[in-house]
Chains A and B, each alone.
Chain A
Amino acid sequence: MSTAIRTEKLGKIYRTGFFLRPYEGLADLDLEVPEGTAFGFVGPNGAGKTTTIKILMGLQSATSGRAWIHGQPVPAPASRRRVGFLPERPYFYDHLTAYEFMDFYASLSDLPSAGRDARIRALLARVELDRFARVPLNQFSKGMLQRAGLAQVLIADPDLLVLDEPMSGLDPMGRVLVRDIIIDERRRGKTVFFSSHILSDIESICDRVAMIVAGRLRGQGTIPELLGQTVNEVECVFQQGGQRIPQVVPPDGVDALIRRMQAEGAAVISVHPRQKTLEQVLMSEVERAKPVQAARLGVLA
């Protein structure tokens, strides 16, 4: 399977404050996003997700390492030819109406005039903004702007969608809409690379996930690969005298528990192995990364 995005030892050091103290935004990131997957990029706030995306989109330069999109080196404009990008908390030209806004991005994507109008109208309908085509963006709510932003991502039918926190600040209906679009695009064979710290979204949508904490990659793969195949704990439910009794034990304690409960006259109702959740894995990675986090400021000092 060919890769949509590949990075090799990608790093970014920011200079902050009057004395330009170094701050490590990203370090040695080796990422591989296969084509045709929905790829989640997870991590807590300030982990380096947006920095990575900005480097990939040519908005910031990497201090070290290299990256490629569809085999083209970043930040060459050719690397972004088949890419649609939605930044976090998107801001757009508020003097434009929704239609003019879409037309502007269609022009930037060299979309031919023939069929452009139909494409714009179809996309506005897809994000449920067709009724607001002639309304200036300065009258749009945050959720409407996010949806307009998503429509602009799709204008040139890109092969790779890069979405930075696409669901942040959206109401439940907006989140469902964004999720459906991601799933649809993935079904059409497109690659969707999106960052989020809302792990339930990631678990429900993504084929593969990369986890970044304190500027460093902490793992990537399918969700089962990341969570590990081993069972973390087992939930057993018994019934005794018309009362349900749930018990949670480590995997090696199940046999002993069942024997003990049966000896006491309880019946086994269910035995349910529990795996680690993505949230638990992320939290343990955050805990492990605390010394690294402290060292990020003044990394070169």
Chain B
Amino acid sequence: MNRVRAIALNTFREAIRDRVLHSILFFAAILLFLSLAMQEITIGDADQVVRGVALGGISLIASLIAIFLGVGLVYKEIDRKTIYTLAARPIPRWMLLCGKYLGLWLTLLVELLFLTAMYVLIVGSQQGFPEPAIFLSIAMLMLEMTLLTAWCTLFSSFTTPTTATAFSLCIYVIGHFADDLYLFGKETEDPGVQALLLGLYRVLPNLSIFNIRAEAIHNIPIPASEIGYAAAYGLCYSAAVLAFAVVLFERRDFK
């Protein structure tokens, strides 16, 4: 496990020294500050709108970073030929890929902790210390990122960053409309279309189950069973996607 940790820490170190990441986080901090301005231009419960904009911003930035870093995770190693000295070590390839994935996951965790701290500082300065539900919604976002980065890792293991970005964005968008896919599949009368849509619903990820921001903003209690189901779903699905990525990565020639 030392070797997985070494690869993960190297991936983490590479990511946090990337200036693009610093720029995105700076932009995120500005976005959180701007969310306070919503209070001035909102009719109704302005506090809820501020919380909604801030949490939405955190979700958007986290997803952007996950895709930005995830799609180049393996490809960059191959393109820059750093993979040669890495894969030539007595390390099984699954270990190499898992190390890279864990490094990315750690980067996203630290980035989300940073954004959470910014939320507490900025939004908390106006509305007081956030309710636990806010932290729970960010934890669920981390689960969503766990799944999204597994897909990015899969795409990165066999294609270029441009194609992987397009695929990852598709997964992100479809994943957030998975419930609609299911409803449409149920409603349609064409059995072929129905089979296709329900099939896609079963195979593609349902990212909307991790979105409890509305409940958190309005402080509506969420049953523990829902959280437990989402956690189990996210972890099992991520493991399955990673296993598929490993299968592809094992067969890959480094030219």
- Using a CB–CB distance below 8 Å, which chain A residues touch chain B? 14, 54, 57-61, 77-81, 83, 85-87, 89-93, 95-96, 100, 104-105, 107-110, 149, 152
Q: Which residues of B contact A59 (CB under 8 A)?
A: 83-84, 87-88, 253-254
Known: A91-B82, A104-B6, A108-B7. A80 touches B14 (CB 8 A): no
Nearest neighbor of B18 in chain A, beta-carbon distance: A95
Q: Which residues of B contact A57 (CB under 8 A)?
A: 84, 87-88
**A93:B14 contact, CB within 8 angstroms:** yes
**B85:A152 contact, CB within 8 angstroms:** yes
Q: What's the least CB distance linking A110 to chain B, in Å?
A: 6
Q: What's the least CB distance linking B37 to chain A, in Å?
A: 37
Q: Which residues of B contact A77 (CB under 8 A)?
A: 90-92
27 A-B contacts, Cβ less than 8 Å apart?
A: A57-B84, A57-B87, A58-B88, A59-B253, A59-B254, A77-B90, A78-B90, A80-B89, A85-B85, A86-B85, A87-B84, A87-B85, A90-B85, A91-B82, A91-B84, A92-B82, A93-B10, A95-B13, A95-B17, A95-B18, A96-B10, A107-B3, A107-B5, A108-B3, A108-B6, A108-B91, A109-B89
Known: A87-B85, A91-B82. A107 touches B92 (CB 8 A): no
User: Cβ of B2 < 8 Å from any Cβ of A?
Assistant: yes
Known: A93-B14, A107-B3. A58 touches B87 (CB 8 A): yes
CB within 8 Å of A: which B70-112 residues: 80-92
- Using a CB–CB distance below 8 Å, which chain B residues touch chain A? 2-3, 5-7, 10, 13-14, 17-18, 80-92, 251, 253-255
- Complexed CA–CA distance, A77 and B86 (Å): 12
8 Å CB contact of B80 from A79, A85, A91, A105: A91
Q: What's the least CB distance linking A49 to chain B, in Å?
A: 15
- Complexed CA–CA distance, A14 and B83 (Å): 20
**B90:A105 contact, CB within 8 angstroms:** no
Q: What's the least CB distance linking A234 to chain B, in Å?
A: 48
Q: What's the least CB distance linking A117 to chain B, in Å?
A: 16
**B89:A108 contact, CB within 8 angstroms:** yes
Other than A90-B81, A96-B10, A105-B89, give 4 A-B pairs with Cβ distance below 8 A: A59-B254, A61-B251, A91-B80, A91-B81
**A60:B254 contact, CB within 8 angstroms:** yes
Q: Which residues of B contact A96 (CB under 8 A)?
A: 10, 13
- Complexed CA–CA distance, A91 and B92 (Å): 21
Known: A104-B10, A107-B6, A108-B86. A61 touches B81 (CB 8 A): no
Nearest neighbor of B86 in chain A, beta-carbon distance: A108
- Complexed CA–CA distance, A77 and B91 (Å): 6
- Complexed CA–CA distance, A194 and B119 (Å): 56
Q: Which residues of A contact B2 (CB under 8 A)?
A: 107, 110
- Complexed CA–CA distance, A92 and B254 (Å): 16
- Complexed CA–CA distance, A105 and B84 (Å): 12
Known: A54-B254, A59-B254. A87 touches B81 (CB 8 A): yes
Q: Which residues of A contact B14 (CB under 8 A)?
A: 93, 95
Q: Which residues of A contact B251 (CB under 8 A)?
A: 61
Nearest neighbor of B5 in chain A, beta-carbon distance: A107
Nearest neighbor of B11 in chain A, beta-carbon distance: A93
Q: Which residues of A contact B84 (CB under 8 A)?
A: 57, 59, 85, 87, 90-91
Q: Which residues of B contact A87 (CB under 8 A)?
A: 81, 84-85, 88
B84, B251, B254, B255, most chain A CB atoms within 10 A: B84
Q: Which residues of A contact B17 (CB under 8 A)?
A: 95
- Complexed CA–CA distance, A104 and B86 (Å): 10
- Complexed CA–CA distance, A89 and B84 (Å): 11
Q: What's the least CB distance linking B93 to chain A, in Å?
A: 8
8 Å CB contact of B88 from A78, A83, A110: A83
Q: What's the least CB distance linking A183 to chain B, in Å?
A: 23
Q: What's the least CB distance linking B74 to chain A, in Å?
A: 14
- Complexed CA–CA distance, A105 and B3 (Å): 9
Q: What's the least CB distance linking B48 to chain A, in Å?
A: 42
- Complexed CA–CA distance, A297 and B246 (Å): 32
**B82:A93 contact, CB within 8 angstroms:** yes
**B82:A85 contact, CB within 8 angstroms:** no
Q: Which residues of A contact B7 (CB under 8 A)?
A: 108
Q: Which residues of A contact B254 (CB under 8 A)?
A: 54, 59-60
- Complexed CA–CA distance, A109 and B7 (Å): 12
- Complexed CA–CA distance, A176 and B92 (Å): 35
Known: A54-B254, A59-B87, A90-B84. A110 touches B3 (CB 8 A): yes
**A61:B85 contact, CB within 8 angstroms:** no
Q: Which residues of B contact A107 (CB under 8 A)?
A: 2-3, 5-6
- Complexed CA–CA distance, A57 and B85 (Å): 9
Q: What's the least CB distance linking B91 to chain A, in Å?
A: 6
- Complexed CA–CA distance, A279 and B82 (Å): 33
Q: What's the least CB distance linking A141 to chain B, in Å?
A: 18
- Complexed CA–CA distance, A86 and B210 (Å): 45
